[in-house]
Amino acid sequence: MRSGHAAAAIVPVVCAGVGVQYGRAWTIRLASFRLTQSDVGTATLAIVAPQAAARATLVALLSGRVAPAYGHLAVLGHDMRTTRGRAAARRQVGIARRGARILPAVRIRRHVEHAARLAGQPDQDRHLLVAAIIDRLGLSPWADVELRSAPELIARKAWLAAACVHQPKLLLIDGLLDQLGPRDRTVLASAVALLRGDTAILVLGGDADVLSLASDRVLTLTDGIVIDGGDQASIPLLTDNSFALS
């Protein structure tokens, strides 16, 4: 449904003046950015961040794994400064990350089933959800192949399937398109497009040209500034010297 009201109810991210601290080091200081969609499920957003540490911090923030030390962060309408807000967001966010941990000798179907179980899907729904996402991403011929033995493209599709088997409202894809051949990148980008619908998708990686294959709008983290590739508007994102984003 194309509705401004419906889209406004599920604005993926509003981040204002956020700081994140690991131990004694500040990884993000005074971060401010807004990621929106005119219609939920009809667009994919991307953030280019060459350093994996920058992407990992953003994913941890947006998925509720890390609380901002200060500032305001709302994900899917939840206040991420509160324990309740982060817990609510975690149930609605999926993470597909390159190099995700693989259980020993696990087959692709079992890998996706395990993700559905961890997401709290009831037994009566799990089989249908797993079958649906495996079919949707073209993994049916590979469902009984060991994940660690599968071709790289198939393995990345399996990570994608595991991340969205519970039908998240926000899907974070970190580095999944990096270091693939041109054909495989195109195929995987097309798979990402298949996951639209009621899901807001944010793709992160180190190459703007690669991310543009899967995204309608690309933001870039560079020199401490978030640059909007569409209209060149910029929003300050300040960091200390120990965590340069360029």
Residue 56 has pLDDT above 50, yes or no: yes
Beta strands in the chain (DSSP E): 13-22, 25-35, 44-48, 70-75, 78-79, 93-97, 170-174, 200-205, 217-222, 225-228, 234-238
Quick check: is 227 in a domain?
yes
Burial class (CB in 10 A: 0-12, 13-18, 19+), 189: buried
Q: What is the mean pLDDT of residues 112-127?
A: 87
Q: What is the mean pLDDT of residues 105-118?
A: 92
Residue 120 lies in a domain: no
User: Distance (Å, rounded) from C-alpha 204 to C-alpha 202?
Assistant: 7
Say if 33 falls within a structural domain: yes
Q: What value does the mean pLDDT take over residues 14-35? A: 71
Q: Which residue has the higher pLDDT, 202 or 24?
A: 202
**Would you say residue 17 lies in a domain?**
yes
List, for residues 151-173, the tens digit of each pLDDT value: 999 999 999 999 999 999 899 99
Residue 150 is assigned to a structural domain of this protein = no
CB-based contact 154:185 (threshold 8 Å): no
Residue 102: inside a domain: no
Tokens of 84: 């309740």
For the chain, the domain total comes to 1
Handedness of CA 244, 97, 218, 60 (dihedral sign): negative
Domain region containing 37: 4-92+168-243
- The predicted-structure confidence for 185-195, as pLDDT tens digits, reads as follows 999 999 998 88
Report long-range pairs for 183-188 (Cβ below 8 Å, ≥24 apart).
184/152, 184/153, 185/210, 185/213, 186/213, 187/153, 188/153, 188/156, 188/157, 188/160, 188/214
pLDDT at 26 over 80: no
Is residue 133, in this structure, part of any structural domain at all? no
Q: 3-state DSSP call for residue 93?
A: strand
CATH number of the domain bearing residue 218: 3.40.50.300
- In-domain check, residue 235: yes
